[in-house]
Structure 1
Amino acid sequence: MKTLIISDLHSNIHALEAIWEIEKDSDQIICAGDLVDVGPYPKEIISWVQDHNVICVKGNHDSYIIDFHDSNQDMTLVNNKNEFWLQQNLDQLDQNDIRFLKELPETAEIEIDDCLYGITHAYQGYNVILGSHAFNKFLLDKFSNSAIERIIFGHTHRQAICHVSKNQLWVNPGSTSYRSYLEPEDKSTGSEYMTLIDGKFEFKKLEYNKSILNAKINNSNDALNQETIEIALARFPA
């Protein structure tokens, strides 16, 4: 069995479609959250996730969109650079899209190759689990099933696999969309994800054509201010 593991899609459909062109022989897809925000294609991402029956949990940026929608904030008063993307995304989403985001679970469980996996978006901010004690405590706090041996995270935009005991490990596939701002020295611009085939993980990186993505960002100046556009274009150099 082949499982495609992705996370932090951030409204970037071009990266996701480039990955799928290579990995479309996957039997199932797992996503560790953050479908939307900080990218120009939220509706396309939600539709893709629905059409491909992705096993998906809710990320913090998905919650930001929900909270911003429910706040009924006057969009003409937006002046926080972090809110410009929220506005741009919300302008494209309908009530069915919002309902889908709201109904995403905080956690999920799945058995793969006789091993039980837990899926959630984040551990504790940008911290990582460094030992078996912390792993077991997190299981008790976050999941209802203490038999889980492996956890799939997202959030940090950093690819990693960490064994904390003989049978316990956590996995982060990285972000399909962009690299972590916490590591400005990392100049890579491709997508990151993982595959799991018959119990074996493989780290994947993929460069893709960003010209259409950049054009979409440049043409979003009705919703985004110039600073937000420049930050976004720096993340996705053509």
Structure 2
Amino acid sequence: MKALIISDIHANIYALEAIWKAESDSEIVYCAGDLVDYGPFPREVLAWVRERRVVIVQGNHDRAVAKAYRSGEELWSIPNEELKWRHHNARLLSEEDASFLESLPLSVSFMMDGAAYSMQHMYIDYDTIVSLPQFETFWEQQTSGDVRDSANRRLIFGHTHRRCIHYLGDRDLWLNPGSISYRRKDDPTKTAHYMTITDGRIEMKSLSYDRSPLYKAVLGTRLSEPETETAIRFFS
């Protein structure tokens, strides 16, 4: 079985479609949250994941955009110099879109190729699990039944935008596919980061894609200057 593991899409439909073109033989797609915010195409991303029945957990930016949508008239009275990406995205959403973001679970567990998985957007803020006791405590909180009792345990996180695999034991690990849109400041690359898991084998991957439509869309928005700076840096 082949699974595509993605996270932190941030309203970037172009990276998403480029990855799918390369990995369309995947039988299932898992996303560790943050479908929207900090990008110009939230509705397109939401339509894409719904069409493909992607298994998704709710990210902090998903909650923020849904909350902005629910602010009603207040959302439309914000002056341009105070507009943030979450307001931009919320203004584009439909009621169906907002309800979809609100309905996303905080955690999902599943079995795949003899290994048990628990997926959630984050651990504690930007902290990571660095010890086996931390892993075991969190695993107990997040799982139940056959998943909890599996001898092969794997946690999937997003949020940090740092692609990694962290082994705490031969059969106890957590992984993060990174962001398909944004790197942290100490990583200047502009490729899309993601993972695939094929018959239990994890592969860390990156992909170059055409960012010019994103750059053009960002230049066409009217947002506060700090909100556009990061997007311009990555999509130029």
Q: Which category describes the TM-score, using the shorter chain as reference length?
A: over 0.9
Output the amino acid matched with 1:77: I
Find the partner of 2:173 among 169, 172, 176.
169
Give the Cα–Cα distance (whole angstroms) in 1 for the partners of residues 182 and 170 of structure 2.
32
Structure 2 unaligned regions, length at least 5: none
Give the Cα–Cα distance (whole angstroms) in 2 for the partners of residues 123 and 75 of structure 1.
34
Partner of 2:5: 5
Q: Does 1:117 align with 2:117?
A: yes
Give the Cα–Cα distance (whole angstroms) in 1 for the partners of residues 174 and 80 of structure 2.
38
Q: Does 1:150 align with 2:154?
A: yes
Give the TM-score taking structure 2 as reference length.
0.93
CA apart distance, 1:140? 2.6
Would the aligned equivalents of 2:195 and 2:205 in 1 still touch at CA under 8 Å? yes
Change (3 A) 1:228 1:23: same
CA apart distance, 1:78? 5.1
Return 65-74 or 131-140, whichever deviates more: 65-74
Would the aligned equivalents of 2:4 and 2:28 in 1 still touch at CA under 8 Å? yes
Give the Cα–Cα distance (whole angstroms) in 2 for the partners of residues 227 and 56 of structure 1.
29
Cα distance per residue 1:142-184 (max 9 Å; x no partner): 334533611111000000111112221101000011102xxx2
Structure 1 counterpart SS, 2:109? strand
Percent of aligned pairs with the same residue?
Answer: 39
- Aligned CA RMSD, in angstroms, stands at 1.6
Give the Cα–Cα distance (whole angstroms) in 1 for the partners of residues 90 and 149 of structure 2.
39
Partner of 2:44: 44
Would the aligned equivalents of 2:69 and 2:75 in 1 still touch at CA under 8 Å? no
Return 225-234 or 169-178, whichever deviates more: 225-234
Give the Cα–Cα distance (whole angstroms) in 1 for the partners of residues 124 and 158 of structure 2.
11
Cα distance per residue 1:3-28 (max 9 Å; x no partner): 10000000000000110110001111
Change (3 A) 1:94 1:211: same
Q: Does 1:213 align with 2:214?
A: yes
1:85-100 alignment runs, 5 A limit: 85-100=85-100
Change (3 A) 1:136 1:80: farther
Structure 1 counterpart SS, 2:33? coil
Would the aligned equivalents of 2:16 and 2:180 in 1 still touch at CA under 8 Å? yes
Cα distance per residue 1:70-123 (max 9 Å; x no partner): 233343235786x51111101211000011111111111111101111110001
Partner of 2:202: 201
CA apart distance, 1:52? 0.8
Give the Cα–Cα distance (whole angstroms) in 1 for the partners of residues 71 and 132 of structure 2.
40
Output the amino acid matched with 1:228: E
Would the aligned equivalents of 2:69 and 2:93 in 1 still touch at CA under 8 Å? no
Would the aligned equivalents of 1:131 and 1:165 in 2 still touch at CA under 8 Å? no
Would the aligned equivalents of 1:178 and 1:236 in 2 still touch at CA under 8 Å? no
Give the Cα–Cα distance (whole angstroms) in 2 for the partners of residues 34 and 80 of structure 1.
24
Partner of 1:190: 191
Partner of 1:55: 55
Would the aligned equivalents of 1:107 and 1:119 in 2 still touch at CA under 8 Å? yes
